[in-house]
Amino acid sequence: MKVAIPNKGRLQQPTLQFLTQVGIKPLASDERALMIPTSWDGVQLVMMRTEDIPNLVEAGAAEIGITGHDYVTESKADVEELIKLDFGKAKIVLAVPQNWDVENVEDLRRKKNGIRIATKYYNIAKEYLDKVDIDAKIVKISGAAEVMPSLGAADAIIDVVSTGTTLKLHGLKSIDEILQTYAVVIGNKYWMKSEEAERVNLVLTMMKGVISARGRKMIFMNVDDSKLEDVISSLPAMLSPAISRLSKTNAWEVITVAEESQLPEVIAKAKAAGARDIVVVNIEKVVK
């Protein structure tokens, strides 16, 4: 089976890191190779422009692919978004010059008719502008949108923002948020019927396992017999905490899983209930 992944750009490194955790490690090959074998027998990586991945997965170039939700929306490709990933997070916004007396879309609508908006997201922009009833001309570009207003090539832009540094640097401000974006695993509509269906299914299961393990920790602790009930009732768990007898004392080892964000609270409660020797361990995968 083939997995389409970005051949460069912001999503490439996090995608490779994610795949390594899934168990798909690219095997050394020519640096310029666009088709790469991996440590997972029968799984090949195909390197493509992030923007092209939705259409190419629709066309059957790969069973699944990793790209941005923004590009899936923009392309209108007939693919399924199978797994929402926890990287590549950003927003698509409408931005205007900071010195404009415009704070929101209503102000912009009042300002003038026929403004020019530079963007690489033509379809997203068109749909949005129709929805908010702004009469604009879209100037289609393929990058560097932020510089267009100062060059006089456009009045405003629709572009991707994460920290907002680039907007600020070019004297622009966001006045509306159009779309939240993130990396996604997409699938060809027909993969389930392909010869590779079984392998694809297993890869997807492992991908989901990695995502649901993120942000979770495994906790081990020792608890005396007399405190066992109190400690167990203080703990969160996927189903319920596990217990096993310690070999030499009248005590137990209690094991559970908790959200990393809740760890300080969970540990404090367990300690107060009588737990000791608390050990926190990373989880690699949680397969449901």
Binding-site partner at residue 165 among ligand PRP, ligand ATP, none, CB < 5 to 8 Å by type: ligand PRP
Q: Is 160 in the site for ligand PRP (CB under 6 A)?
A: yes
Show Cβ contacts of residue 202 under 8 Å, excluding neighbours closer than 6 positions. Answer: none
Using CB under 6 A as the binding rule, whether residue 160 contacts ligand ATP is answered as yes
Q: Do the Cβ atoms of 83 and 67 come closer than 8 Å?
A: no
d(CA 54, CA 56) in angstroms, rounded, equals: 6
Task: State which of residues 15, 38, 73, 181 lies at the interface with ligand ATP (CB under 6 A).
Answer: 181
Our finding on whether 81 is near ligand ATP (CB under 6 A) is: no
CB–CB of 154/116 below 8 Å?
Answer: yes
The CB density around residue 111, as the number of other CB atoms within 10 Å, is 15
Under 8 Å between Cβ of 11 and 67:
yes
Which residue lies nearer to ligand ATP by CB, 50 or 222?
50
Q: Which one of 23, 88, 149, 209 is in contact with ligand ATP (CB under 6 A)?
A: 88
Least separation in angstroms between CB 283 and ligand ATP: 26
Question: Which residue, 13 or 162, is less far from ligand PRP as judged by CB?
Answer: 162
Report the SS3 class of residue 61: coil
Q: Which is nearer to ligand PRP, 163 or 244 (CB)?
A: 163
Contact 157, 146 (CB under 8 A): yes
Shortest Å, Cβ 91 to ligand PRP: 9
Q: Which does 6 bind (CB under 5 to 8 A by kind): ligand PRP, ligand ATP, none?
A: ligand ATP
* DSSP letter (8 states) at residue 40: S
Count of residues engaged in binding ligand ATP, rule: CB under 6 A: 16
Query: To which H or E segment does residue 282 belong?
Result: strand 275-282
Q: How far is the CB of 168 from ligand PRP (least distance, A)?
A: 8
21 belongs to the binding site for ligand PRP (CB under 6 A) = no
Burial 163-188 (b: 16+ CB within 10 A, else e): eeebbeebebbbbeebbebebbbbbb
- Residues lying near ligand PRP in the complex (CB under 6 A): 10, 143-144, 146, 159-166
- Residues lying near ligand ATP in the complex (CB under 6 A): 6, 8-11, 50-51, 68, 70-71, 88, 90, 143, 160, 162, 181
